Amino acid sequence: MNYQLINLKVFGDTRGSLISIEGRNNIPFDIKRVYYIYDTTPGIARGKHAHTDLEQIIVCVNGSCKFLLDDGIRKEIVELSRPDLGLYIGKNMWREMFDFSHGCVLMVLANKHYDENEYIRDYDKFLKEIIT
């Protein structure tokens, strides 16, 4: 499956903690876009799409949530609940985010600018494109 968990190095002392994020250093691509998801509605899933040409690192900077990751053959659930753990999701991976805790904040780093044309939002279409 085209995903990986990435441990982010924490620097800190009695004053607190800091995590530095740098493209092509601890992130495996140049960062072109950053966005975050917050104030999610309880019981509502998000995502439900794949990308044909986008790579992302997702960090749960506060709270927790789960990801259903699907490569068209296998499905796995990954939980994010630490700000020092990034979830790399590569191309052609279906993802659904669910079970958001109260106050959950997800920060997403992407290797490309937003392009609606490279989203696959229909699961059946996703499966057809993966097979061909």
Domain boundaries, the chain: 3-131
Average pLDDT over residues 60-83: 98
**Residue 130 has what pLDDT?**
86
Q: Which residues are catalytic?
A: 49
Q: Kindly report the length of the chain.
A: 132
Q: Strands across the sheet with 119-120, in order?
A: 75-80, 65-70, 94-98, 46-51, 119-120
- Which CATH code is given to the segment(s) 3-131? 2.60.120.10
Q: Cα(126)–Cα(94) distance, rounded to whole angstroms?
A: 8
Average pLDDT over residues 8-22: 96
CA distance to 33, 108, 113, 127, per residue, from 24 (Å): 14, 16, 17, 31
Average pLDDT over residues 75-79: 98
**Residue 37 has what pLDDT?**
98
pLDDT at 38 over 90: yes
Segment 84-130, tens digit of pLDDT: 999 999 999 999 999 999 999 999 999 999 999 999 999 999 999 88
Q: Cα(83)–Cα(94) distance, rounded to whole angstroms?
A: 23
What integer best gives the mean pLDDT of the chain?
96
**Residue 64 has what pLDDT?**
98
